[in-house]
Amino acid sequence: MNWYAFDTGKSIGQRGTESGIIIRDEEHGSGARITLERDGQTAPLAITCGIYGWMVHTRFFGTEAEAQSEFEMMRAELSRIINTIPLDPDPDGDSKMPAVSESLSEFVRMFP
């Protein structure tokens, strides 16, 4: 599954979780979202991302160029992690959970 505009793009221009204006908002069909906001309460730009039911992570930036670049890298890594999460009928699902947990921890270390 690929990334696509969250809510068919209706969130663009709306207020995000960091009280900024959403300028980019994408969702992955397997259950993740990544949002870029401008002019929030904490910093000029913020990226909030998450994998539904697993994690939420927010980062702050001073320039849009840096935020856009990091958005791309974070989105790629979220895709990789999603592909490691076992589906419900996976008979080896329990044995795969430690690797998923480590991938989530590594994501936060990679993108502090």
pLDDT value at position 1?
65
* pTM (2 d.p.): 0.92
Residue 7 lies in domain:
3-110
End-to-end Cα spacing for the chain: 26
Q: Domain count for the chain, please give it.
A: 1
Tens of pLDDT, residue by residue, the chain (112 residues): 699 999 999 999 999 999 999 999 999 999 999 999 999 999 999 999 999 999 999 999 999 999 999 999 999 999 999 988 886 776 676 777 888 899 999 999 999 9
Q: Bridge partners of 47? A: 36, 59
- Centroid of chain to Cα 110: 13
CA–CA distance, 85 with 97 (Å, rounded to integer):
8
